[in-house]
Amino acid sequence: MGLEDKRVHKGVEKGAPFEITVDGKKIIAYQGETVGAALMAAGQRTLRYTDKKKRPRGLYCGIGLCQECRMVINGVANTQACQTLATPGCRVETQKSEKKRGIEN
């Protein structure tokens, strides 16, 4: 997983940078950025795996409708990364099971 910065920097104003932890690795996020945006900028495309077939899922619609970006964020499973603002010290994990929610894919 290449976690290098893929953000557009020229002509873009950003908030203050800070670190979040994703699957045990530190990445940079910026104030006002969602967890999903920080992950995409860091090059992480897989955010969860389906239970039944273990297929990777990632950010798809980016507006909270599709539910594909569900992750474990600060210990809470099935949290939408595209709708959750990154905060300093945020802990994010790739979601590997949906059994708590009762969904089979």
Question: Domain 17-94, what architecture?
Answer: Roll (3.10)
Q: What averages of pLDDT result for each successive group of 10 residues across the chain (105 residues)? A: 62 89 96 94 90 89 90 95 97 82 45
**Taking the domains of the chain in order of start, what are their residue ranges?**
17-94
Give DSSP secondary structure letters for 13-80. ----EEEEEETTEEEEEETT-BHHHHHHHTT----EE-TTT--EE---SSSSSS-TTEEEETTEEEEE
Provide the 8-state DSSP code for 84. S
56-57 vs 76-80, strand pairing mode: unpaired
